[in-house]
Amino acid sequence: MKYSYIKPRAKTALTPEIKLLVSFFSMTIVMLFLTYGFLLYKDYTFTSDKVSYAQQREDLAHLIEEMKDEISYIEKQNALSQKIYTQNTVLKDSITNLFDLVPQRITLSEAKLLKNGLVLYGITPNKEVYSFMLQAPLRSIFHRTYSSFYPAKNGWLHFVSTNYIDDENNINMEDEDEN
């Protein structure tokens, strides 16, 4: 005897309610794992970026140090070359002034320019011309001036004028001794 007109269904644990619940939770879990995966990936990229920036920074620091060394070396080269160029220009002016200093009546035969002195050899018509026209200006420039004469064949006088500039240190020491 039949009590129902439909066939009995096989009973299962996966009822529609459970399926719905499982699908909701599985979505939630997938989202959680995706977030966790994203965080793991970011963590990895942050670490590698940090290491790379630190390395690049170190490289830059090395380069900066090398460039600084190069800059200071060029500045030294520049300073030394300017000093030498100035010395050459000063030397040129000194020689110009020296030859301008010699009057037309006196003829120079030799001039020796020393670091702290000047030696002149020449010929003068007489001692007075030499004293007034050459020795006086030389005395105003040099600290010590010595002159010696010997007669020339034409009645003029050969002269040797030796002039020195004392070191500033020596002058200061002498001043201190006098005091």
Partner 1 sequence: MKINISRQHIYLLVISVFLLIFVLVFSFVVLIPKGKQYREDRVELKKELREFRKYQDFHTQTEEKLKDLQSKNRHIITAFDAIFNPARFEKQHRSYFSSLKLSEIKGAGLEDEFVVYEVNTSSQISSPKSFYNFLDAVNKSDWIIGVNFPIDFKRDGELIHSSFTMKVYTNNKDKNSTKLKKKTKTKEN
Name the residues that contact partner 1, by CB under 8 A.
13, 15, 17-18, 21-22, 25, 28-29, 32, 35-36, 39-40, 42-43, 46-47, 49-50, 53-54, 56-57, 60-64, 66-71, 74-78, 80-81, 84-85, 87-89, 91-92, 95-96, 99, 108-115
To the nearest whole angstrom, how small is the minimum distance from the Cβ of residue 168 to partner 1? 18
User: Are the beta carbons of 161 and 147 closer than 8 angstroms?
Assistant: yes
Nearer to partner 1, 76 or 144 (CB): 76
Nearer to partner 1, 77 or 126 (CB): 77
To the nearest whole angstrom, how small is the minimum distance from the Cβ of residue 12 to partner 1? 10
Rounded CA separation 151/158 (Å): 6
Nearer to partner 1, 28 or 172 (CB): 28
| Block residue for tokens 């020796």 | 112
Nearer to partner 1, 6 or 13 (CB): 13
Nearer to partner 1, 71 or 136 (CB): 71
To the nearest whole angstrom, how small is the minimum distance from the Cβ of residue 178 to partner 1? 30
To the nearest whole angstrom, how small is the minimum distance from the Cβ of residue 33 to partner 1? 9
Nearer to partner 1, 109 or 148 (CB): 109
To the nearest whole angstrom, how small is the minimum distance from the Cβ of residue 30 to partner 1? 11
To the nearest whole angstrom, how small is the minimum distance from the Cβ of residue 28 to partner 1? 6
Cβ burial, residue 111 (10 Å; 0-12/13-18/19+): middle
